[in-house]
Amino acid sequence: MRPTRRIALITVLTALSVASNYALSSIPNVNLMDAIVMVSGALYGLQVAIPVAVLSWAVYGTLNPYGFCLPILMATMSSELVYAFAGRTLRNDVLNDLNSEGFRGYLSLGAKLSIVGCLCTLMYDFLTNMAFAAVFAVRPLVALIQGVPFSAMHVAGNSQVLLWAAPAAIKGLERSGLHEV
Torsion over CA: 156, 160, 166, 169 (sign)? negative
Query: In this structure, which amino acid lies at residue 78?
Result: S
Query: In this structure, which amino acid lies at residue 118?
Result: C
Put simply, whether the predicted model's pTM sits higher than 0.85 gets the answer yes
Residue 181: the pLDDT is: 41
Q: Which domains does the chain have, with CATH numbers?
A: 3-176 (1.10.1760.20)
DSSP assigned state of 163: I
Q: Are 147 and 20 in contact (CB under 8 A)?
A: no
Residue 99: the pLDDT is: 78
Report, as an integer, the average pLDDT of 157-174: 94
Least confident range from 95-99, 145-149, 154-158, 163-167: namely: 95-99
Please choose, from the candidates 160, 169, 168, the residue with its C-alpha nearest in 3D space to the C-alpha of residue 29: 160
Mean pLDDT, the chain, rounded, equals 94
Report, as an integer, the average pLDDT of 51-71: 97
Distance set, CA 160 to CA 32, 114, 142, 154, 155 (Å): 10, 7, 28, 10, 9
Q: How far apart are CA 38 and CA 99, in angstroms?
A: 19
Q: How far apart are CA 166 and CA 109, in angstroms?
A: 9
Look at the chain and count its residues.
181
Q: How far apart are CA 93 and CA 101, in angstroms?
A: 14
Answer with the residue of higher pLDDT: 171 or 120. 120
Percentage of the chain with pLDDT > 70? 99
Per-residue model confidence as pLDDT tens digits over 47-56 = 999 999 999 9
Alpha carbons within 13 angstroms on the beta-carbon side of residue 84 total: 20
Least confident range from 67-81, 150-164, 167-181: namely: 167-181
Residue 180: the pLDDT is: 61
Please choose, from the candidates 161, 159, 160, the residue with its C-alpha nearest in 3D space to the C-alpha of residue 169: 161
